[in-house]
Amino acid sequence: MKPCVLLIEDDGDMRQLVARHLEHGGLDVHWAEDGIKGQALAMQLLPDVILLDLMLPKVDGLTICQRLRRDERTARIPVLMLTALGDTKDKVSGFNSGADDYLAKP
pTM of the model: 0.93
* pLDDT bracket for residue 104 (50, 70, 90): confident
Contacts 24+ apart (CB under 8 A), 12-19: 14/105, 18/51, 18/82
What does each C-alpha distance from 54 to 1, 25, 62, 75, 78 come to in angstroms? 29, 24, 6, 18, 15
Element (H, E) at 49: strand 49-52
Read off the pLDDT of residues 45-65 as tens digits, 9 standing for 90 and up.
Answer: 999 999 999 999 999 999 999
* CA separation for the pair 8, 39 (Å, rounded): 9
Share of the chain above pLDDT 70, in %: 98
pLDDT exceeds cutoff 80 at 37 = yes
Read off the pLDDT of residues 69-85 as tens digits, 9 standing for 90 and up.
Answer: 999 999 999 999 988 87
* CA separation for the pair 93, 33 (Å, rounded): 21
Domains defined for the chain, CATH in brackets: 4-104 (3.40.50.2300)
pLDDT exceeds cutoff 90 at 100 = yes
Choose between 3 and 90: higher pLDDT.
Answer: 3
3-state secondary structure of 52: strand
